[in-house]
Structure 1
């Protein structure tokens, strides 16, 4: 879709389940963004209220911030433009200022993309189930009309900087001042962590910490000249792994483009699984909540997180709660259950003290604290949280995904295997030796396999058997 007002406007190509994401100049442009800004105010009832808007380092973000502000102000929103921000900075601002907001980012997508992540006051997510569809429809109506009409009393537009307050708030949640000195390599991938890391972990805005930060690709550059800012892909971690070993560092941290996810590398240059990080942070948050008098603090984990997570939570006196994959589900259950923490296999980490929102930086600070409060190396510490062998996600391109799952179900159905359909289909050996999940992609012809077992031979045999059935 382009912004040609003579064509029937359809924003469906860029409006996704949880956010807006499109190709600049094709499915998202300044005219569209102005209409979305207006619709954001209309649908959420924000006339006369504060509306926050910022963006990441992508070349189109400044223009889009201005266009969104123009549309929002025309409909009566009092806009505070935040300039360059990480996505978790937006969540901080929406929570601390109790205001709705939007940030322009396409997360880990390539340079030609941009998009919008939106939140209500208190950092509550805006998804297709909580207003995004209505915002799309209202924006399409403005585009069809050819303009955004101003209300009788338009709103104002002013600038605001929240970086220092964001950094101070995170430091208040995790005290790193008294840990042992650590050498930390951080790969910002030319994304927003290049700005937030010096602010939070360095001495740019706040007193220095016992951290020797070795920066990789801190220059903000939305064309991603060094590697894509997507640490989920192993090849994008190679520079960090090499640098950790070369510098003799204690730990490596990799952030995605908008810095809401964080991946961890140990001193040997090996990745620490997000499930292990979930377990480590869960242990710290359970202990803190129990010390404050909370009985059985709830911890959220999605269904393809390692079984080690719920086992550890139960062992430590917490209450594990299993959910579907996806941040809108996690955030909803976090709120419903009053959960203290939630973790996903994709390295999204959610905190009650952060308005149930995800923040890669706060998760990183918990890992630094856990490492720096004792004398072992990270590889030894992390081994406690990785007792099982995991497959990682394996995709099979299958047209008839339902038939493939049916073949697997027919093979494995029996008294010694539990099967559930919470999100895709999960098969679990009743003796606890293995489990696997098959989830169909909603947007691609892929069936996704994730599995885990007590040892490598068991996992390899399980993987090969299941994939043979899937691909038959």
Structure 2
């Protein structure tokens, strides 16, 4: 294996490219990726037309130089490049779908400031992951880094574009926020791109119909050093300020976005975090009812570690639910093949058929706002009806031997419940289920796609059950034996 391929394998993940700048991700490597992306995926789809790539970036300080290197590589390979400037990731996906162009979003999402990365998509915001072109891009980029020439082609053009207004109009067309009661909302942008997209879509300066929303902003100034907290609302500590502000203001709810604003987390009026599985159920039911009214049998996706309440509630509504692996490229592919109207992940990613099958944290937030505005009860009461089980939350555990840890977990759970009582699947890591009357629980243990960790998730009927299972599983993983 060449040194270039080794370097690329450090940053090419299951469904994006991500690494520390410049130690792992530098301009030379990104230039090769830009050319390889065009050669291996974009140009073959373009036919006789000139390949087009729309490029955008978040607020990280390393973004402009990396974008410039990628653009030069893509143009040298013959692509016409449309530079959308600073955007949220879902705004880039909108641009890809709206303009029928491939896309490259420069972001490391929730990772610390020293990181950056690239999320790639094909025209129509179709995903590029390890099974849909990313490994071919990796191999070709390694060849270019080792001295192979970029395939001869006339250099492409470069144009600047602004799609923020069109993006706002698209989101507004999908959810009607003009009806119902007025809501007081605290929004934490985490110094990320929601600081630009939220005012454009929900604010009074949007140039669109004024919405019955009173928005209290937190950390709306984009700042890639993240001076207030990490832009990762999956971690409870990072929503503490939002939770406190919701209570202090007597707000109806709070919304928190990650750095590139493609994920959204919700806080109720009591300052409590609402589990993303509950949001999956809430939005999934809304979208299922909408298409069912049009005579369609709705299909909704949920990932392997979402609450069992999701398929139960959707099934009661007459929807067909499909369980998927974790990860946006996997889910986007399944959104297309299943013609799913909606999909949700525990990490706060929510996918919409009417948004090119892509994920949008802001669009999910708009559904929550609309659902709450339609009724007089508070958000805590609304979500309580969708949340019958207790979950551990995602627990990260270092583990050198993934397979050994999973065997130890399966062994200890088998001896605890009896092997004949368990259902085992390996759709995404190891899932062990015991879903019987009066004793219902499941445990999932899977390797992270982005970090050297095992991720553990547990759900059960009550807190004591979940705590007992947590202790058993962590003890098993801790020393590799039950």
TM over 0.5: yes
Gaps of 5+ in 2: none
Aligned-CA RMSD value: 2.0
Kindly state the Cα deviation for residue 147 of structure 1 after the two structures are TM-superposed.
7.2
Measure the CA separation in 2 of the matches of 1:142 and 1:168: 41
Render the CA deviation track for 1:100-156: whole Å, top value 9, x for unaligned: 0101111011111111111001111111221112222222333332875762x2211
Q: 1:31: which partner in 2?
A: 28
Contact 1:9 1:143 in 2 (8 A): no
Kindly state the Cα deviation for residue 8 of structure 1 after the two structures are TM-superposed.
8.2
In the alignment, structure 1 residue 14 sits paired with structure 2 residue 21: no
Measure the CA separation in 1 of the matches of 2:240 and 2:16: 29
Measure the CA separation in 2 of the matches of 1:9 and 1:409: 34
SS of 1:449's partner is strand
Cα gap change, 1:17/1:78 in structure 2, threshold over 3 Å: closer, same or farther? same
Query: Would you say how many aligned residue pairs link Structure 1 and Structure 2?
Result: 466
Kindly state the Cα deviation for residue 470 of structure 1 after the two structures are TM-superposed.
3.1
Kindly state the Cα deviation for residue 301 of structure 1 after the two structures are TM-superposed.
0.6
Q: 2:253: which partner in 1?
A: 251
Q: 1:353: which partner in 2?
A: 354
Contact 1:57 1:220 in 2 (8 A): yes
Q: 2:281: which partner in 1?
A: 279
| TM-score, reference length from structure 2 | 0.92
Q: 1:95: which partner in 2?
A: 97
Contact 2:5 2:139 in 1 (8 A): no
In the alignment, structure 1 residue 424 sits paired with structure 2 residue 429: yes
Contact 2:5 2:138 in 1 (8 A): no
Contact 2:82 2:160 in 1 (8 A): yes
Contact 1:9 1:144 in 2 (8 A): no
Q: 1:328: which partner in 2?
A: 329
Compare 342-351 and 407-416 and name the one that shifted more. 407-416
Trace 1:101-250 onto structure 2 (pairs within 5 A). Answer: 101-145=103-147, 151=153, 153-205=154-206, 206-250=208-252
Compare 271-280 and 49-58 and name the one that shifted more. 49-58
Compare 409-418 and 168-177 and name the one that shifted more. 409-418
Kindly state the Cα deviation for residue 408 of structure 1 after the two structures are TM-superposed.
3.3
4+ aligned runs moved over 6 Å, structure 1: 5-9
Cα gap change, 1:58/1:310 in structure 2, threshold over 3 Å: closer, same or farther? same
Cα gap change, 1:407/1:37 in structure 2, threshold over 3 Å: closer, same or farther? closer
| TM-score, reference length from structure 1 | 0.94
Measure the CA separation in 1 of the matches of 2:7 and 2:17: 13
Cα gap change, 1:469/1:14 in structure 2, threshold over 3 Å: closer, same or farther? closer
Q: 1:319: which partner in 2?
A: 320
Gaps of 5+ in 1: none
Cα gap change, 1:309/1:215 in structure 2, threshold over 3 Å: closer, same or farther? same
Kindly state the Cα deviation for residue 360 of structure 1 after the two structures are TM-superposed.
0.4
